[in-house]
Structure formats: C-alpha cells, structure tokens
A and B are shown apart, each in its own frame.
Chain A
Amino acid sequence: MWTEVSVLEAVNLNMIESLKVEKLEDYGWALVAHGVKKSYVIYYAGDKIEPVIERLEELVRELNKENRVIVTTQT
C-alpha cells in the first residue's frame, strides 16, 4: 500500500531532495517528492495539471514561510 505523507515532516527528516510535477501512468498528473532512497506521491489529479501546480505553489509558500529550505520554482 502507498500513502500520502506530510511534506513538511518529510523535508524536516531530510527525506526529500526535490519536488516535481510529473505525469504518471497510475495517477495522471502528480506532485512527486523525490527522496534520498525513495519517491513519494504527494498529490495527484488525473488528467488535470492545474490543481497539482496549485498544490506545489502552496507547499513552496509553506516551506519558505517555515524557513526550512530555500525553495525556487522552475518551469
């Protein structure tokens, strides 16, 4: 079984190296956190990319606010 994880928690634990929006066969457009050892599906929205981008932007804001990491977005 897979599960959603709290990104803030995962970042805190140094489990995540990057966040990417990717198109996956089993989820469609998804926000994927790539970790040192594994990758995690954080959010997915099927055929639609906009909700995934929104979620990414939300996370970037949260992460910047917490000063945990310096986050930049790239298109």
Chain B
Amino acid sequence: MPKLKVPVSLMVLDYLDSRPSGFTFSIKELMDTLGLPASVRASVHRIINDALDEHLVEKLSFGWYQITKEPKVLSLDEMQGKKLKIPLPFNLGFKFDLYPGAIVLFIALPGKGKSYFAVNLCKFWAERGFALDYYFCEAKESIVDRLLRMTSEGFWVNKDVRFIEIENPSMRMRDDSRNRIVIWDWLDLTAQYHKVPLIMRRMQKDHKSLIVIFMQGRPGEEGIMPFGKLGGLHPVSVAFAITHDEKDKRKEYPILKVKKVRDSSWFCEGDEIYLKFDSSTGEIKPLDIRSRDELKKLITGEITEEDLYGAPDQDGIPF
C-alpha cells in the first residue's frame, strides 16, 4: 500500500494532543512511538521547542518533557457564546441551536449521496451570501459538474466560496477558514477512527462559524452508525444519518435521521426528515411528509406529490 506523506509537525502535535495532562515523554520515546527516522530529529526538537513556547509542554530534567494542559479560566462573558445566525437548509432554519465552532455531522454508507448533500449545502449558503470553504477529496470535476447543474448561469459570480483539496486524511484546516462556514467533504479516516474526536476538536478550536463534516458510516443495530466508538460523536452538535426507505430502490427520497442533537426544541434523536432528490438537477428539497408511513405510500404510488401539495382546500403545507 502506498504510504501517505504526513508532516512531522502534525504527527508530533497529534501525539501531544492525544495524551493527557501530566504525561511525560522523551524525544526518543516520542520518535519511537511515531516511527520517525533519525533524520527528522532536528525538526522534532524544533516543534517541541515551539510547544514549550506555547506552554503545551514543560521541560523536566534529563531530556524529559511533560504535557501541560492547564484548564483555561473563562469569564461569564466568554462563557456566553452567541448563537450562530446561520440557517440550515431543508427547512431546518434555526431549529437547532448552534454556537461558534459547532459541528454538524452527516454520516452515510458509501454511495448514499454524501457529496450531493455537500453541494446542496454549498449552494444553499452561497445563495444567501455566506462566506464558505468547501474542502473536497473527490474528483473536483464531479463537484463542479454537480454545482453547475443545479445553478443558473452567473450564479457563482461574486459568491464568496473557496474550494480546497483535502490532500491527506489528517490535513489541517486553513487558519483563514475559521471565520467561514466549512464543508468538509469528506473525513476519510479509514482504520484511524480513534482520531475522529481529536481531529474534530482541532477543527473546532477558535472556529467562529459552522463546520459541516461528512463521514462514512457502517450498518449497525440502530441503523447507520459512525465508525469508531460512539464517544467519537462527543464534539458534534448535530448528527444526521443519510438513509433511504427499503422500498425506495431508486433512492429518490433521502431521509435524514437525527442521530444526535444537543440543543433543539424541535427535534430529538430518532426523528426523521423526509426529502426529495431531483436526479435531473441534483437538488435535494424538503417534503411535506410527517411520517414514514406517508413516505412509503408516496414511494409505492398510493399517494402522489400532487395529493400532498395540490388542492387548496387540503391541509396544504403548514407554517
């Protein structure tokens, strides 16, 4: 298998991040643990010196270092984060309370439309004038194709959207992304799922806006679950699994199943949000459906979308 080139600094910082306060180590021990060659010893020294300056580690005697993670003292003002004024698509609006650095996670099995959701979110926020960074790791041509298919000519002129390639799974977010909505499509950490919380926390640190992460899931007893331990969801504010009804063979009606919700008076875990995927434009829109039974009827043709939206004397679409 080809090896990925990961910067030494990232590996060392991961090492420091993932160990508890008070943990002692020597440079040799650190290098042995990470499997680093002697040729990078000088770089490691430099990084550890930087870490000393930043008070991430403390120097003990005889070449030993100790990780220091002094808890930060916050004032009441600092504690009181302001809610993000960023609406979510699919008629979710402000129905989830999100604070700066909030992570919204989408989990899906392979081929369930992660990237379609990502481009829909990108279009939604771009259209509303939000600054956005789209980190991608799939073929950029397919992302561009999808984005252009769902927008009219001239749509992308003057939109504050940047596209950034994810070069390796542990790549860091750009510093200047911290004031912008970030879409991370997708977090590929095969066989390193224990790193998920760490990487998420690193993304969250000092982030002032919203972070949306897409990840592959696995089939579990309770539907689609994230890889790794469930504790991996700890830094996440809202998690959705992207799924389909078993009758929906053509995958026309994606369902967002709420897997985790921190603050919402509208939704709780297990709730489902029913959507419609338009295969000609690639757009995903909300459906006026309240239950899985109703969705099944729509899929099997017992009711039509006209029944849902058509006649004015019907229930219509409540607001």
Q: Which residues of A contact B (CB under 8 A)?
A: 1-5, 9, 13-15, 24-28, 32, 35-41, 44-48, 50-51
Contacts and interface: CB of A to CB of B under 8 A. Distances in A.
B297 interface: no
Nearest to B271: A1
Contacts of B62: none
Contacts of B288: 1-3
Please give me the 7 A-B residue pairs with the lowest Cβ-Cβ distance, nearest first. Answer: A47-B85, A27-B93, A46-B87, A3-B288, A45-B128, A3-B286, A39-B319
A46 B319 contact: no
Given A2-B288, A3-B286, A14-B312, A44 B319 contact: no
Given A1-B287, A28-B94, A46 B318 contact: no
Interface residues of B, number: 27
A2 B85 contact: no
Interface in B257-285: 266, 273-274, 285
Contact of A3 (B94, B127, B128, B287): B287
13 contacts: A1-B91, A1-B290, A9-B309, A15-B312, A25-B94, A26-B93, A26-B94, A36-B312, A37-B312, A37-B316, A41-B93, A44-B93, A46-B87
Contact of A2 (B86, B311, B319): B319
A28 B311 CA distance: 29
Contact of B128 (A1, A40, A51): A51
A48 B129 contact: yes
Given A1-B289, A37-B316, 10 more contacts: A1-B273, A3-B286, A5-B309, A15-B316, A26-B94, A39-B319, A40-B319, A44-B93, A45-B128, A50-B129
A48 B86 CA distance: 9
Contact of A41 (B91, B285, B289): B91
